[in-house]
Amino acid sequence: MQNKATIKLVILSLVFVFILSGCSLIPISKKSVKKLPVDNGAGEDGSLDTGQIKQGDKTVPASIQTQLAAQSKIYKFEDYDELNEFLENSDLSSNITYPTFSRGLEMVEMGMMEDVAMKASPDLGLDYASDLGLADASEGAPGLGGGSDDFSKTNVQVEGVDEADIIKTDGKNIYAVVKNNLFIIEAYPAENAEILAKIEFKSRPQDIYINGSSLVVFGSDTQIYKTDTYKRFPRRSSYTFFKVFDITDRKNPKQVRDLDIEGNYFNSRMIGDYVYFVTNNYNWYWRDDVVPIPMLLEGGEAVSSDCASARCYHPDVYYFDIPYDSYNFTSINAINVKDNDKQVNGEVYLLSGNQNMYVSKENIYITYTKHISEYQLEMEVMKEVVYPYLSVRDQEKIAKIEQVENYILSRNEKMNKITAIIQRYASSLSEEEQEKLEKQLEEKIKQKYKDISKELEKTVIHKIAIKGDKLEYKTHGEVTGQVLNQFSMDESNGYFRIATTKNRTWSRYDEASRQSYSNLYVLDENLKQVGAVEELAPDEQIYSVRFMQNRAYMVTFKQIDPLFVIDLSDPKAPKVLGKLKIPGYSNYLHPYDNDTLIGIGKDTSESEWGGVRTKGLKMSLFDVSDVENPKEIDTYVMGDAGSDSIALNDHKAFLFSLDKNLLVLPVSIRESFDGRSYGKLSFSGAAVFSVDKTGFTLKGKIDHSDGGRASESDYWRGYNYYDNTVKRNLYIDDVLYSFSNNYLKMNNLDDLELVKRLKLKKERNDIDDFDIIN
């Protein structure tokens, strides 16, 4: 039996977490905002009254389902003054710290301001960044005369939607980023290949786009902190540079546009002549004398937000009624890369965070995951059980306390006052009443858990229509679970398909919910769910997904690799047609043709203690022509534990051509001596295969290490490369081009004989004979 002190501690702990979560017993008064022409679930005046609802003549706290649904609704600030007021009254505004100028510069030099989530990989000595959710397409028009029409493009998810990369070709020339340098190389014909120009940047470029005679280069601007312009800014933010070069004369590229966008690069796409460029700005702080939107600089000077000016940048700002843990201003800007006189058009979304992005030719989908903890569940029950017992006077007191502006009473001060009210109530209960309340709380929590188990982890999807420089927020939706990467999403015939993993939980109230499982959902054009396959592969997680026509192929893994074939021909009734269980797993799936899939991942075996031992690189060829009985046609395993490929986590490193029966992967091979531990590195370079519907044949390997010669380490964007690590491969006609920081090598595809080698990294004693543009 719990005594009075115990029940008081239960109630007080619930109140403490409840208030800290940003929720409230009675809603905090907020200024009315403009109601969008979509179903937001707000009141008729657009107010965000999500914390309470009417039941007869009484006003009671809203259910947790109602509050969670409201958190996905979008609202638009009428103007920047209203945004300022929102930030001023936020609980976060008094807690956000900002680095000083010197500290900001120090962070940049240490690489701490890159917006890259990192995931440790023990293989190859590489630390892979989490997939940034990019979808690629074809490169720009061929080079100016003399180029080939037979050349490889960056590996794409959606045809016609280009993705930035570190290397591009137009069939005549190759454009490649090596550290702070961008090389323009006349690459065709290979035997006459030469470096035409080298553009040297003080801030290291991250990726590039090519669009005919326009070359786009962007990256983190580490030099802006030294400028007088930056020193005048009140916010010590990071900035991303976006430069456009006219490369009509490849030997003499000319910079024609110079933009800086406040924030860190998150993602981008190029469709037609527009790059849709997405940046994040975290750790926002408020000042009532400063326009709060992320700044845009052109030619080193800030573009005015006052559109009475000849040139302005005045994005609309949207937000969601969620308990923000931090403010992330996500800016989506449409930038014309052919007409440099066009203004940048953008929109800004106030989010807690974002994770992945999928882009079709018509829409951008941005996703993030929201969670509800068991503490929040207990809070909900406390509202339902305890709040009605409070006197009207105590309820009014709590309402008045919470309606006080945050700059008058902080969140902690409000918490202390409300806690005192609840404590007085708890101390008035008899032991019998305490026992009754405790039992009521426990029963309610268990029932509530069953009711909302699928709400504990949900992916929120926001759909933004794009056309030229026009951006239009359309709608939102949500599904249970978390998205792995961009390939977990797809748009087809007006439907949006998405695969998720509902991750493992550790509930005290429901043993069955502890297991993870996977789902696939089909949403209509309004992102309303019309079909679903749920609770696949209990206790496993999604490792890769590929959507092809009216099917989805999903790989989950714990000890063996189940490949699921899911029929999507009827969007309202998706169903599993078949599955194949084999050792190992595939991190990436790529279509060979409509009936055949290529998978790359790792081989595995069961360990002596019943766990899983990861082994070498594994390629699989799957026959899915009989959808109810998929088969593994062939496998090819390279090396032992520790062997790795950049292509496992970066699809742009995967080169495949059906016409040429060609598959090329950057690989690092380790050979183990005892069969258990990581072995010695035996090869690092490119592995070249011929592949047909019968299987894989290794044609040979291309080495960039000069026979095992040591090379400098190069940490960049979450990867720990070496300068002799092959990062990309491409082809023009019948020549394979392999690319590392050290070299661009050209080898015949027939016999892999070396045609030519261009050195890209200047050694200490080398004479620099490249053209340099500062």
- The pLDDT score that the predictor gives to residue 72 is 62
Separation between Cα atoms, residue 116 and residue 176, nearest integer Å: 21
Select the more confidently predicted residue: 337 or 454: 337
What radius of gyration do the chain's Cα atoms show?
A: 28
Q: By mean pLDDT, which of 107-111, 246-250, 364-368 is the weakest?
A: 107-111
Q: Of 220, 198, 259, 146, which Cα lies nearest the Cα of 770?
A: 198
For 541, phi and psi rounded to 5 degrees?
-130, 155
The full set of domains in the chain, from first to last, is: 4-30+34-72+373-453 (no CATH), 101-112+132-371 (no CATH), 484-773 (2.130.10)
pLDDT of residue 425: 82
| pLDDT value of residue 116 | 30
pLDDT confidence bin for 91, thresholds 50/70/90 = low
pLDDT at 154: 97
What is the number of other CB atoms lying within 10 angstroms of the CB of residue 326? 13
For residue 713, which amino acid is it? S
- The pLDDT tens digits for 547-558 are 998 999 999 987
In the block, residue with structure tokens 């008729």: 44
Q: What is the pLDDT of residue 120?
A: 29
Window from 553-562, 626-635, 745-754 with minimum mean pLDDT:
553-562
Reduced to 3 states, what is the DSSP secondary structure of residue 477?
strand
Peptide bond into 538 cis (omega under 30): no
Return the residue matching tokens 């009428």: 78
Q: What is the mean pLDDT of residues 504-508?
A: 67
681/528: higher pLDDT: 528
Amino acid at 508: R
Could you report the per-residue pLDDT of 406-450, keeping only the tens digit for each? 778 876 787 778 778 877 887 788 888 878 877 887 788 777 777
Cβ–Cβ under 8 Å, residues 561 and 601: yes
Q: Does residue 127 have a pLDDT over 50?
A: no
pLDDT at site 511: 58
Under 8 Å between Cβ of 668 and 688: no
Q: 463 near 501, Cβ under 8 Å? A: no
Q: Which residue has the higher pLDDT, 257 or 92?
A: 257
How far is residue 221's CA from residue 206's CA, in Å, rounded to a whole number?
Answer: 10
Q: What's the whole-number mean pLDDT along residues 576-580?
A: 92
Q: What is the pLDDT of residue 758?
A: 97
Segment 256-290, tens digit of pLDDT: 999 999 999 999 999 999 999 999 987 566 666 77
358, 135 contact by CB (below 8 A): yes
Could you give the count of Cα atoms lying within 13 Å of 89 in the half-sphere of its Cβ? 13
What number of other Cβ atoms are within 10 A of residue 479's Cβ?
Answer: 26
283-318, pLDDT tens digit by residue? 566 666 778 889 999 999 999 998 887 789 999 999
Q: With H, G, I as helix, E, B as strand and everything else as coil, classify residue 119.
A: strand
Closest CA to 208 of 171, 188, 189, 183: 183
pLDDT in tens, 204-220: 999 999 999 999 999 99
Cα Dmax for the chain: 93
Average pLDDT taken over every residue of the chain: 80
The confidence score (pLDDT) of residue 286 equals 64
Q: At 139, list the tokens.
A: 């490169």
Mean pLDDT, rounded, for 164-176: 98
Residue 73, pLDDT score: 72
Residue 180 has a pLDDT of 95
Could you tell me which residue, 391 or 54, shows the higher pLDDT? 391
Strand order from edge to edge, sheet including 167-169: 167-169, 173-178, 181-186, 194-200, 772-773
DSSP 724-741: T---EEEEETTEEEEE-S
Q: What is the mean pLDDT of residues 478-486?
A: 93
pLDDT in tens, 665-674: 999 998 887 6
Specify the pLDDT at position 560. 63
Angle 511-509-59 (CA atoms, 0-180°, nearest 5)? 145
